[in-house]
């Protein structure tokens, strides 16, 4: 059971559910929203996310076996049968999509299915072919907050897409810092991340700064659209400038690790400001 739980990547799922809950809360027309509907949205999203994670590990079990940071996962270590892991992932994913469509609304169910399929059929195979896979993976990666918003509203509006844009842009400095830290490991596994194909790091640094600046701009839009107030605006502006500071000139592993830590701190703080200063 512990190995099956590990297949679902619970450390990632909690962040996904946090994004879903924030999107739901900001989309809800009521101060406290519908807690039952939020619960349904989180349960369905957790099932989809867990199933997608399991199927992703099933697809990448050979690659994971070549990388030190993943070689002890249940499939490359031989602790689980691949066929059982596959059907476990399929069952969770299908159950999640059906649950969202039935208990929340059809739009959220569709977004859940879109997230699962694009992550597995587009992003996962592209990781071994092109560094642009990071861009492709960012589209399904940012979907949880939009799913939460759609669960509350039943539709997609400009405000929802702005929330999506914040999570979309945040992923680039986050994952590029990880790719910089584990460049040799990714190279052993045949994963074509940007730091692997351009070891000097110049292109990686440009992308980190570019996406962090774009994030700084997009992150203040919720105030301009009336989703959040002045406290959020000032707070997220300060957080964005601090995040940009850590993203400037990432040349060493220590600097990459600090950027990774900053990214993990940045997103929950931005979410907290959104929730506390909701309009």
Lowest mean pLDDT segment, chosen from 27-31, 69-73, 115-119, 264-268: 27-31
Domain residue extents for the chain:
1-156, 158-279
Structure pTM?
0.94
In sequence order, what are the beta bridge partners of 278? Answer: 228
pLDDT at 31: 59
pLDDT tens digits for range 175-217: 999 999 999 999 998 999 999 999 888 999 999 999 999 999 9
Write down the mean pLDDT value for the chain.
Answer: 95
CATH code at 1-156: 1.10.357.140
pLDDT tens digits for range 253-262: 899 999 999 9
Distance, CA of 130 to chain centre: 20
Type and span of the H or E element at 216: helix 202-218
CA proximity to 142, closest of 120, 172, 171: 171
User: Could you tell me if residue 201 is left (phi over 0), alpha (psi between -120 and 50 degrees) or otherwise beta?
Assistant: left
Type and span of the H or E element at 107: helix 106-118
pLDDT tens digits for range 84-100: 999 999 999 999 999 99
pLDDT tens digits for range 128-162: 999 999 999 999 999 999 999 999 999 999 999 99
């Amino acid at each position: 059971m512990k190995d099956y739980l590990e297949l679902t990547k619970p450390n990632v799922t909690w962040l996904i559910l946090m994004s879903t809950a924030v999107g739901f809360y900001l989309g809800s027309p009521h101060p406290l929203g519908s807690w039952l509907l939020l619960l349904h949205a989180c349960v369905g999203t957790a099932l989809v996310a867990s199933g997608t994670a399991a199927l992703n590990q099933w697809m990448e079990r050979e690659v994971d076996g070549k990388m030190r940071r993943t070689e002890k996962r249940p499939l490359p270590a031989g602790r689980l049968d691949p066929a059982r892991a596959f059907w476990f992932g399929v069952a969770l994913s299908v159950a999640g999509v059906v649950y969202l469509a039935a208990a929340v609304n059809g739009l959220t169910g569709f977004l859940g299915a879109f997230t699962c399929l694009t992550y597995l059929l587009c992003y996962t195979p592209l990781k071994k072919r092109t560094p642009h896979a990071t861009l492709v993976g960012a589209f399904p990666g940012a979907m949880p907050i939009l799913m939460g918003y759609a669960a509350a509203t039943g539709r997609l509006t400009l405000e929802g897409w702005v929330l999506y844009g914040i999570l979309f842009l945040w992923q680039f400095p986050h994952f590029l810092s990880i790719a910089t830290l584990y460049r040799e490991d990714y190279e052993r596994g045949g994963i074509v991340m940007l730091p692997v194909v351009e070891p000097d790091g110049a292109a990686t640094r440009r992308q980190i700064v570019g996406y962090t600046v774009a994030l700084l701009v997009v992150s203040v839009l919720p105030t301009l659209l009336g989703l959040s107030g002045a406290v959020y605006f000032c707070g997220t502006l300060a957080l964005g400038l601090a995040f940009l500071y850590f993203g400037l000139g990432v040349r060493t592993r220590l600097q990459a690790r600090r950027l990774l830590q900053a990214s993990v701190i940045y997103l929950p703080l931005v979410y907290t400001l959104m929730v506390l200063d909701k309009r």
